[in-house]
Chain A
């Protein structure tokens, strides 16, 4: 029958598309939207093996499990059908009060702010450090990049917004949002998801009875979405 001879070609073709997808997404840097950059080399390995298996599939007879075509179609359609896009302000909104949960640290890992160089710290570093000991960091200068989030649950004043980032440890499945409150006179100029660079100093304010860091901005400038929008914890 015709079907018997066509199926290996379909499966081989789909495997080939997955292999190509792995190569292209990794080479263009878009793989960073799905997995930790540490594992990118493994994507080339997978692509190469899948490519070899695609050729085997087309050239040699093998028993093909039921519904292989249909299952392979799912990653192919979803992987090709939608342009890779970083999770942003709306996804942060879905986390509700769990924001910054990922940056909670036991008290023992406290930093000594007088000796630590904080100039290169990102939003995640600041959230981790201030969750341990907010008072010690008051008055420090910051320069951080992130996207703007503002939603009703966050109880922000009119001259404030949340500067947020996503942090991932291994892949998007474990990603969590972190964010800091920023105070800036012209806050309303920046809509949700706008990437900005904030410079300013750390102050503290009271949010629902808990002392939270607040960045008093001296400058806020729009920037382009970075190539690697997700932060990864430093080892």
Chain B
């Protein structure tokens, strides 16, 4: 009976998807609708596919890394080597990203695998927050973009603030728990069968993680595209001229653009004329942690309940810390 209901639900969902996409495609191509609607659907589709295409390689890399952690990390080995202090554990989690070149699409499933394989929660949370920024690719892109414009202190503060926010959030929100992935299910039921080739087991895990996270990236890309259709991001840029609104505007822009952390430094560079350095710092610190792709992904591993507090904590920390380094004249 329950399977019957599942089939009906699945069928209705398929029908809705077909109709929704069909309406967009037909309106865009064949209906004699106004030029305005054609333009809006054009922009929607271009931005949706743009975000998705650009996220895919990083999502795939993240799924492969998460699957490798799941398969090869020995929980006992990890538990014996970690310090007792939550602060230190969180700091290790925040710095762990430096060996994984992934963005938010990859750090969140990887964090789930880490926790599932015995890492403490605070390590997983700090890792999920910091890994998109604390990695070699982002270091190269940020220094290439900004070392010559605002100097090295700006580049280093981006990484410093990210680590501080990751550690503080992990310690301040000790009640977060991880919802296990579907992968862990078949892992447990079948154990680690000796007759299976490890390479294929790895790909199976990666596929499962990919299918899981791809759904949230698709939701995020659609939302970001939809908002840009009705609120072109250049309109947000105009809020930037107000000194008080500049920092929140930059954070809002980062959420709306939902671009990958590995490339956002170059986008921030194109905003140098519109935003103050400190607003760009907020863009570069907040954007990789919170955007339309990452929010549903965080909800997938933490559940929806703690998400508002989680987002608010990170937003407040970003504003306060950016305000502090601006007040002390460090950037």
Contacts and interface: CB of A to CB of B under 8 A. Distances in A.
B274 interface: yes
A71 B32 CA distance: 28
B52 interface: yes
A65 B14 contact: no
A171 interface: yes
A94 B38 CA distance: 12
B36 A3 contact: no
Interface string B161-173: 0000000000000
A68 B211 contact: yes
B207 A172 contact: no
A104 B273 contact: yes
Contact of A71 (B49, B57, B218, B225): B218
- Counting from the closest, the 10 A-B pairs by CB-CB distance are A104-B273, A98-B234, A172-B50, A81-B25, A171-B50, A90-B39, A77-B21, A42-B57, A63-B182, A170-B263
Nearest to A2: B7
A82 B54 contact: no
Interface string B75-104: 000000000000000000000000000000
B258 interface: yes
Contacts of B48: 75, 78
Most buried by A among B21, B39, B49, B182: B49
Nearest to A80: B25
B interface: dominant SS? helix
Contact of B46 (A34, A57, A71): A34
A50 B238 CA distance: 40
A70 B13 contact: yes
B29 to A, nearest CB: 7
Interface of A: 1, 3, 11, 22, 31, 33-36, 39, 42-43, 45-46, 49-50, 52-53, 56-57, 60-65, 67-75, 77-79, 81-82, 85, 87, 90-91, 93-99, 101-106, 131, 167, 169-174, 176-177, 233, 235
A149 B215 CA distance: 38
B69 interface: no
B22 interface: yes
B1 interface: no
30 contacts: A3-B7, A56-B204, A56-B207, A62-B207, A63-B208, A65-B208, A68-B211, A70-B17, A73-B17, A75-B49, A77-B21, A79-B49, A81-B29, A90-B36, A96-B235, A98-B234, A98-B237, A102-B237, A103-B273, A169-B263, A169-B267, A170-B263, A170-B266, A173-B51, A173-B224, A173-B233, A174-B233, A174-B267, A177-B234, A235-B144
A interface: dominant SS? helix
Nearest to B214: A71
Contacts of A131: 273
Interface string B256-281: 01111001101101111110000000
A77 B215 contact: no
